[in-house]
């Protein structure tokens, strides 16, 4: 029996009828999923959010997808949103092993089937969700096609800091300080501590304002910087994935020229060798292109829906 979870429709701005449920993962953690569905949907898009994000942040994405014929399922990953937090300080983003996120994927996919969400399934993975999504595809995630937005297949870091990051995060677990914030990070959510003028996420002032309003209205959704263990786990996972060939699945990836968070070189390298893969470089695009100006959002969702439609036509 599905257990209803809180769903904050007041900040989601998604289609009518959005609902959320609690799920229990195979290792006993409680995570949350939310979905928006409707009659005669062509299929369901599984949205894998980035670090710090939550179900309601993708309400506008769900509306854009519904306008183009697709239902949406979004996930609160372990350690963020309303899912179980992993540290005593709930503001610290933490995970024990990066592959633990695959347990959240498995629980969410089982939920989609149990809830009889319209098939076939497609994937949209943003930032950290792009890293989790790539691993899931390699391990056989049942989707017909994938779209990635600024996927975290590498992170930008000053060359001199990279060996320090590897070393410090690597010793943090055996020495027992792996739940500490990564140096330079804070407890406060990025959208509440940064100004619009200096933000790395969006060029749209209304979207930036919405990010802050969502967290001000529902502070429990907020998340600060990552722990040293999250950093270590993510660096190791990105290195492992970089050595694995891309799956033979239709894929489209978006990367902005103003990207400052994930590593564009890793994205270019992977997409050059991805069978049935296309890289769309967006001039002036920042990290959150799914939540940018109306013109940019409409262009991306038009192209993504057309891409998914093509897979449906070929399958038919």
230 phi and psi angles, rounded to 5 deg: -60, -45
Q: What is the pLDDT along the chain (316 residues), one digit of tens a residue?
A: 689 999 999 999 999 999 999 999 999 999 999 999 999 999 999 999 999 999 999 999 999 999 999 999 999 999 999 999 999 999 999 999 999 999 999 999 999 999 999 999 999 999 999 999 999 999 999 999 999 999 999 998 777 777 766 777 778 788 877 888 898 899 999 999 999 999 999 999 999 999 999 999 999 999 999 999 999 999 999 999 999 999 999 999 999 999 999 999 999 999 999 999 999 999 999 999 999 999 999 999 999 999 999 999 998 8
d(CA 195, CA 207): 13
Q: With contact defined as beta carbons under 8 Å apart, do 291 and 60 qualify?
A: yes
pTM: 0.97
d(CA 126, CA 162): 23
Where are the domains positioned within the chain?
3-315
Count other C-beta atoms under 10 Å from residue 292's C-beta: 23
Domain 3-315 has CATH 3.40.309.10: no
């Amino acid at each position: 029996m599905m257990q209803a979870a809180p769903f904050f429709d007041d900040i989601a701005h998604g289609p009518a009828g959005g609902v959320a449920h609690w799920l229990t993962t195979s290792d006993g953690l409680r995570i949350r999923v939310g979905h928006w569905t409707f009659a005669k949907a062509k299929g369901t898009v599984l949205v894998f959010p980035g670090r710090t994000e939550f179900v309601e942040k993708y309400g506008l994405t769900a509306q854009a997808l519904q306008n183009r014929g697709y239902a949406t399922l979004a996930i609160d990953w372990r350690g963020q949103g309303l899912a179980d937090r992993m540290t005593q300080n709930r503001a610290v983003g933490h995970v024990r092993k990066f592959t633990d996120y695959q347990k959240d994927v498995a629980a969410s996919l089982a939920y989609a089937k149990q809830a009889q969400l319209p098939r076939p399934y497609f994937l949209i993975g943003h930032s950290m969700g792009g890293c989790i999504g790539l691993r899931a595809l390699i391990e056989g995630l049942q989707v017909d096609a994938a779209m990635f937005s600024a996927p975290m297949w590498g992170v930008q870091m000053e060359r001199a800091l990279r060996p320090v990051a590897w070393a410090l995060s690597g010793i943090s677990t055996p020495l027992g300080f792996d739940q500490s914030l990564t140096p330079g990070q804070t407890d406060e959510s990025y959208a509440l501590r940064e100004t619009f003028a200096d933000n790395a996420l969006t060029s749209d002032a209304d979207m930036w304002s919405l990010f802050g309003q969502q967290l001000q209205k529902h502070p429990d959704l907020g998340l600060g910087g990552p722990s040293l263990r999250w950093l270590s786990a993510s660096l190791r996972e990105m290195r492992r994935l970089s050595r694995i060939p891309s799956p033979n699945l239709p894929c489209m990836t978006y990367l902005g020229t103003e990207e400052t968070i994930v590593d564009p070189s890793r994205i270019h390298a992977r997409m050059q060798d991805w069978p049935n893969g296309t890289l769309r470089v967006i001039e002036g695009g920042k990290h959150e292109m799914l939540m940018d100006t109306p013109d940019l959002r409409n262009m991306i969702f038009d192209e993504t829906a057309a891409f998914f439609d093509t897979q449906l036509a070929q399958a038919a």
